[in-house]
């Protein structure tokens, strides 16, 4: 785990309340960052003691850049959205376990919902380099919230759902998966807890799969036990033992 200042290269609105930020990573060893791990961002204001956990959307080893996509939800992300190129953020990372990449997997399903979509893109790029067939199913609230579709289309076939039906198919990604016959060996997903639970119920025992949980966090480094999740092997910390857990591992009661 490293801590350093990173310079903002770009901070651009890409959908309603949603921004893509590129950060220059001169001091970080980006080879330690794997898809699914996250960084903890310090908001440069003494009123905000807790860092904000954000996944990596893209890791550009050649340009020494990382990209994140974040949604403005509260005060911390609102302050981030007002920052300009040239300003700096203090970053702690990489944190958490990444998505395990299986050598024998020939085809994968990437299933993302809302702010859970970003970490699946870097994963998809790495899988594409290995010749894996990729299908993405991405869910959003409405047409104004949709982002990164063109990028996911470079990986393979993409299905999109919106709750109000204003873009793609009406409903959730589960509705798409119930209708479409998508062939895949391994599932990778990140999104709201209800979506992850529905995927777990649909595929556990039938497919190999990994779910990334975006639980509320405090320390983000395993010290405060403030992000516990119940698993079949007892309580685990999402920030340190996760955020990625295998299908069937988490207990939702």
Cβ 152 vs Cβ 118: under 8 Å: no
Counting contacts by CB under 6 A, is residue 225 touching ligand FES? yes
Out of 109, 217, 247, 250, name the contact with ligand FAD by CB under 6 A.
217
Least CB distance to ligand FAD at residue 115 (A): 4
| Cα separation values, 80 from 17, 44, 216, Å | 11, 9, 18
- Contact at 8 Å (CB) between 59 and 6? no
Q: Which is nearer to ligand FES, 30 or 224 (CB)?
A: 224
Give the residue with the Cβ less far from ligand FES, 79 or 218: 218
Rounded Cα distance, 66 and 25, in Å: 7
Residue pair 54/37 in contact (Cβ under 8 Å)? The answer is no
Binding to ligand FES by residue 219, rule CB under 6 A? yes
Binds ligand FES by CB under 6 A, chosen from 166, 218, 231, 246: 218
- Taking residues 64 to 103 in sequence order and writing x for each that binds ligand FAD by CB under 6 A, - otherwise, the string is ----xxxx-xxxxx--------------------------
> What's the start-to-end Cα distance of the chain, in Å?
33
CB-based contacts of 127: which residues, under 8 Å, 6+ apart?
Answer: 101, 105, 108, 134, 155
52 is a contact residue toward ligand FAD (CB under 6 A)? yes
226 touches, from ligand FAD, ligand FES, none (C-beta below 5 to 8 Å by class) = ligand FES
* Residue 226 is a binding residue for ligand FES (CB under 6 A): yes
Cis peptide before 243 (omega within 30 of 0): yes
Judged by the rule CB under 6 A, the positions of this chain that interact with ligand FES are 217-220, 222-227, 237, 239
């Amino acid at each position: 785990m490293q801590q350093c200042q990173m310079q903002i290269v770009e901070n651009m609105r890409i959908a309603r309340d949603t921004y893509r930020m590129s950060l220059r990573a001169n001091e970080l060893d980006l080879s330690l960052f794997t898809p699914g791990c996250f960084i903890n961002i310090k908001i440069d204001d003494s009123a905000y003691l807790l860092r904000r956990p954000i996944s990596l959307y893209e890791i550009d080893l050649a340009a020494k850049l990382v990209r994140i996509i974040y949604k403005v939800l509260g005060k911390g992300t609102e302050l981030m959205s007002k920052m300009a190129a040239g300003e700096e953020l203090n970053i702690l990372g990489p944190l958490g376990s990444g998505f395990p990449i299986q050598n024998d997997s020939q085809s994968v399903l990437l299933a993302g919902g809302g702010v859970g979509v970003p970490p699946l893109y870097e994963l998809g790029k790495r899988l594409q380099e290995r010749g894996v067939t990729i299908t993405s199913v991405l869910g959003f609230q409405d047409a104004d919230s949709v982002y990164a579709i063109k990028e996911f289309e470079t990986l393979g076939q993409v299905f999109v759902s919106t709750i109000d039906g204003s873009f793609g198919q009406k409903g959730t990604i589960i509705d798409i998966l119930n209708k479409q016959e998508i062939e895949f060996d391994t599932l990778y997903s990140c999104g709201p807890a209800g979506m992850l639970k529905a995927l777990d119920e649909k595929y556990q025992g039938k497919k190999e799969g990994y779910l990334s949980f975006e639980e509320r966090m405090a320390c983000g480094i395993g010290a405060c036990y403030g992000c516990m999740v119940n698993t079949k092997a007892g309580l685990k910390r999402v920030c340190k033992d996760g955020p990625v857990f295998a299908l069937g591992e988490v207990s939702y009661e």
